[in-house]
Chains A and B, each alone.
Chain A
């Protein structure tokens, strides 16, 4: 009797599982499988093969990874992190300064807010080509101005030397990435209640003190989120470096994504290129994992 009852309960429970919502999810699931999961699995599979132009491919185990790490790849990883760290730091700093200025009650504020956007609105390739000309020593504006101000005696080709080329690519990346940070932080700042600022002002707190003790702590979650997102986008920044230097001079601007492109696309070494792409996926997954961890921590703090 009990057994029979249990069974009927089981059946009733099963019947209650409504498959319709799952059915609605099928299209999204299929699209995700086709455009995300399948290429990802395929990339990992390719990284264990010697795939190249030839029609057949063979399983080579970890050979691509061994080869990669026995050459210059560790140096490329280090350079990528250094490039990313500098670029993100500058973007955060300039973006924060920009947000503070745009948040200030100055006449024509709306106009300034619009003027911040061009680096973001101009197509990246176009902007970078213009920067390429500005870095030119013979015709470029920067070298010309520096000569006029007697900072340098002869034309300086910014893209011709390791250090200057490295910094040039970072500056261009900062130029393109800053508006996003500015707008994001500006929004965060505008979310701070005016009463709090006024109360502090009444208590005699100066402008800088209010910024340090009220504004900065309150926008910190937004800054942390933005820094991480910016790190993820910057890590894979390809077009800026490729257009300006193609990874040169002598590999000084070759980051992981540039190295991957050169190997997989320029040289048709799909297997070796896939191994590099897998490394990028690993690093980006770590960043993303940390991002979600941070989000959940911030959410908990918000609830508390």
Chain B
């Protein structure tokens, strides 16, 4: 090897290094689901706009099916190779924050003011916000008007409180072939979600703003007792049913009422149904469970600042609304477009109007652990194995480990 070839090699190596340095920095973004959603082109356009304004950065969007999506981001992060920004169920944000895997999204007062307080509650822990809300849902009571009429009830009057709900369900169970109510009590996440709707509608809480477990309250004992009664007028064997399995029962006219999110409207065929707020308990008012999914910014990607900027750009009021309108998601913010959405489809009204009275998904460090305990308590009461008081007391004790 003579001096000339060494020099040539050196020049070549320098060129390679130089061109690598000039290449855009990658921002790895994980989005759950597939890329067929109606809102995805809108999101892609927003990303392009951001890239144009932030030269030198290239957003690499990876679509991961729902089943493995959160696990993928979490596992990558715990293995030290985090995505820069990822779509995550807000319920897990506290766990990720506690394990030092994500950074706070540092919302300004102005930014916070754009969200309703209960929505902010789904992403706030220790006074800081840990995610940028991206998708959102509330719940409502679906009722089958034909079954109400067949039982001699007014088909246009849904139950407003628990007494009416039990009364109507009993009448339907007695006077028709259908069951009065569809109760989900399987070992699955939406069993707890269904319960939380009623818990909030009776003024109960699971964990308070200071992070203390407050599950063992007279309100929650009352809610559990109500669940026991509800099981008697529901389809046989509620423990075999999660919410998705109730859809066909409602569509077939086998249950007269159940709770579901806005997506449920498209899953029940031509059933003649109405939508009402979750009935109020004796100690509370109509309420709903609020669930958000967020964009979380992971620590250690080397592009945290840019990822946060991208997240804020995608979720700013204007861009987020454009995305929601296309996707058909529940709007996160109360903006002028909301009136238009309700005008186009009045069934949105019940879901959107419930937002201010809603309560957040519990924000804890071990969500699955918490969910298992609450579901076990619910199943105990539904199966008649334990009293409501015992179930709530035992659950509250066990929940201390997961707060």
What is the interface of chain A, defined by CB distance below 8 A to chain B?
52-55, 135-139, 154-162, 245-251, 262, 265-269
Considering the complex, give the chain A residue whose CB is closest to the CB of B299. Answer: A55
Contact of A162 among B188, B254, B366, B383 (CB under 8 A): B383
Task: For residue A79, give the distance in angstroms from its CB to the closest CB of chain B.
Answer: 15
Task: For residue B5, give the distance in angstroms from its CB to the closest CB of chain A.
Answer: 39
Find out whether the CB atom of A160 lies under 8 angstroms from the CB atom of B237.
yes
Considering the complex, give the chain B residue whose CB is closest to the CB of A132. Answer: B240
Q: Is B225's CB within 8 Å of the partner chain A?
A: no
Tell whether A55 pairs with B78 under 8 Å between CB atoms, given A248-B379, A249-B383, A267-B366: yes
Find out whether the CB atom of A250 lies under 8 angstroms from the CB atom of B383.
yes
Task: For residue B403, give the distance in angstroms from its CB to the closest CB of chain A.
Answer: 14
Q: Total A-B pairs in contact (CB under 8 Å)?
A: 86
Tell whether A246 pairs with B369 under 8 Å between CB atoms, given A53-B96, A137-B240, A138-B254: no
Find out whether the CB atom of A249 lies under 8 angstroms from the CB atom of B239.
yes
Q: List 13 A-B contacts (CB under 8 A).
A: A53-B96, A136-B245, A138-B235, A138-B254, A139-B248, A155-B237, A157-B236, A157-B241, A159-B237, A161-B237, A249-B379, A250-B383, A268-B95
Task: A137-B240, A159-B240, A247-B187 given; name 10 further pairs at CB < 8 Å.
Answer: A53-B77, A54-B100, A55-B78, A137-B236, A138-B235, A157-B240, A157-B241, A248-B239, A250-B376, A262-B368
Q: Is B101's CB within 8 Å of the partner chain A?
A: yes
Residues of A within 8 A of B188 (CB): 246
Find out whether the CB atom of B186 lies under 8 angstroms from the CB atom of A53.
no
A55 to B376, CA, bound (A): 31
Task: For residue B32, give the distance in angstroms from its CB to the closest CB of chain A.
Answer: 17
Q: Is B393's CB within 8 Å of the partner chain A?
A: no
What is the interface of chain B, defined by CB distance below 8 A to chain A?
71, 74, 77-78, 80, 95-96, 98-101, 185-188, 235-241, 245, 248-249, 254, 366, 368-369, 372, 375-376, 379-380, 383, 385
Find out whether the CB atom of B383 lies under 8 angstroms from the CB atom of A245.
no
Find out whether the CB atom of B186 lies under 8 angstroms from the CB atom of A248.
yes
Find out whether the CB atom of B237 lies under 8 angstroms from the CB atom of A266.
no
Find out whether the CB atom of A53 lies under 8 angstroms from the CB atom of B187.
no
A138 to B237, CA, bound (A): 10
Task: For residue A288, give the distance in angstroms from its CB to the closest CB of chain B.
Answer: 31
Contact of A55 among B100, B366, B375 (CB under 8 A): B100
Residues of A within 8 A of B245 (CB): 136
A270 to B199, CA, bound (A): 32
Residues of A within 8 A of B380 (CB): 250
Tell whether A160 pairs with B238 under 8 Å between CB atoms, given A53-B78, A250-B379, A268-B74: yes
A251 to B375, CA, bound (A): 10
A137 to B379, CA, bound (A): 18
A157 to B236, CA, bound (A): 7
A267 to B95, CA, bound (A): 10
Residues of A within 8 A of B248 (CB): 139
Tell whether A53 pairs with B101 under 8 Å between CB atoms, given A155-B236, A246-B188, A266-B368: yes
Find out whether the CB atom of A267 lies under 8 angstroms from the CB atom of B379.
no
A57 to B85, CA, bound (A): 25
Tell whether A53 pairs with B236 under 8 Å between CB atoms, given A161-B383, A249-B383, A250-B385: no
Residues of A within 8 A of B100 (CB): 54-55
Task: For residue A222, give the distance in angstroms from its CB to the closest CB of chain B.
Answer: 39
Residues of A within 8 A of B101 (CB): 53-55
Contact of B372 among A159, A160, A262 (CB under 8 A): A262
Task: For residue B195, give the distance in angstroms from its CB to the closest CB of chain A.
Answer: 15
Tell whether A249 pairs with B369 under 8 Å between CB atoms, given A137-B236, A154-B236, A160-B238: no
Task: For residue B295, give the distance in angstroms from its CB to the closest CB of chain A.
Answer: 19
A55 to B80, CA, bound (A): 7
Find out whether the CB atom of B78 lies under 8 angstroms from the CB atom of A160.
no
Residues of B within 8 A of A137 (CB): 235-237, 240
A245 to B237, CA, bound (A): 13
A268 to B369, CA, bound (A): 10
Find out whether the CB atom of B240 lies under 8 angstroms from the CB atom of A158.
yes
Residues of A within 8 A of B375 (CB): 248
Tell whether A52 pairs with B238 under 8 Å between CB atoms, given A248-B186, A248-B379, A262-B372: no
A19 to B99, CA, bound (A): 51
Residues of A within 8 A of B77 (CB): 53
A16 to B206, CA, bound (A): 76
Question: Which 8 residue pairs across A and B have the least CB separation, nearest first?
Answer: A157-B237, A160-B237, A248-B187, A160-B240, A157-B240, A160-B239, A53-B99, A54-B99
Residues of B within 8 A of A138 (CB): 235, 249, 254
Residues of B within 8 A of A155 (CB): 236-237
A241 to B71, CA, bound (A): 21
